[in-house]
Amino acid sequence: MLYIFDWDGTLMNSVGRIVSCLRSAADELSLDILPDNQYQNIIGLGLPEAVATLYPRIDVALQTKMRDTYSRHFKAADTRPSDFFPGVIETLKVLRDDGHKLAVATGKSRAGLNRVLSKLDWLDYFDATRCADETASKPNPLMLHEILSELNCSVEDAVMVGDTEFDLAMAQNAGMKKIAVSFGAHSQERLLALSPDAMLHNFAELQHF
């Protein structure tokens, strides 16, 4: 089986850090400070799509400035990676030891993902990774198709694990099984609307899927 994971809000408990950095970037640029749940709702999208969703009325130049300012704030805050959710490290090890393939499909940038993987000494941990700035943003299924192609895996032998409706919609668009986690960015109600094959309340439950 190939397990494909979202990163922020699924493996790593980084939702609060993302929200804080989005708020700080908006404040620096004198943009409206939105409620935290609005910032949380766009987690999972690529950064250009996220900023355009949050601030649809600002021009392209200011959207670019917002992206750059957020990236600067996040990089400064991310000198120490956020913690993994309980059970993540142990469960990934069990899956690897059992012979399963592991991959990441994330809204993070390639630079951002590589930075955190490097700090963890995990650059070679996953069999494949895809980031939103090198392919299409979720919920477009392109990054899943690319991972399947790279690993020569059929869609029937893969499952997407994520915490947002964008993750589940991407899997649905690819015809792939999908597992939701209840402890990330989006509410259980939003996730259940996408009819996941399972809902995890603790990451270690994945070992029994």
Residue numbers annotated as active site: 6, 8
CA separation for the pair 156, 197 (Å, rounded)? 13
Residue 149's alpha-carbon distances to 2, 70, 129, 143, 144, in angstroms, are 12, 33, 12, 10, 9
CA separation for the pair 43, 3 (Å, rounded)? 20
Nearest Cα residue to 47 out of 76, 31, 77, 25: 25
CA separation for the pair 81, 125 (Å, rounded)? 16
User: Is residue 51 within 8 Å of 65, Cβ to Cβ?
Assistant: no
In what order do the strands lie in the sheet containing 128-131?
128-131, 101-106, 2-5, 158-162, 177-181, 198-200
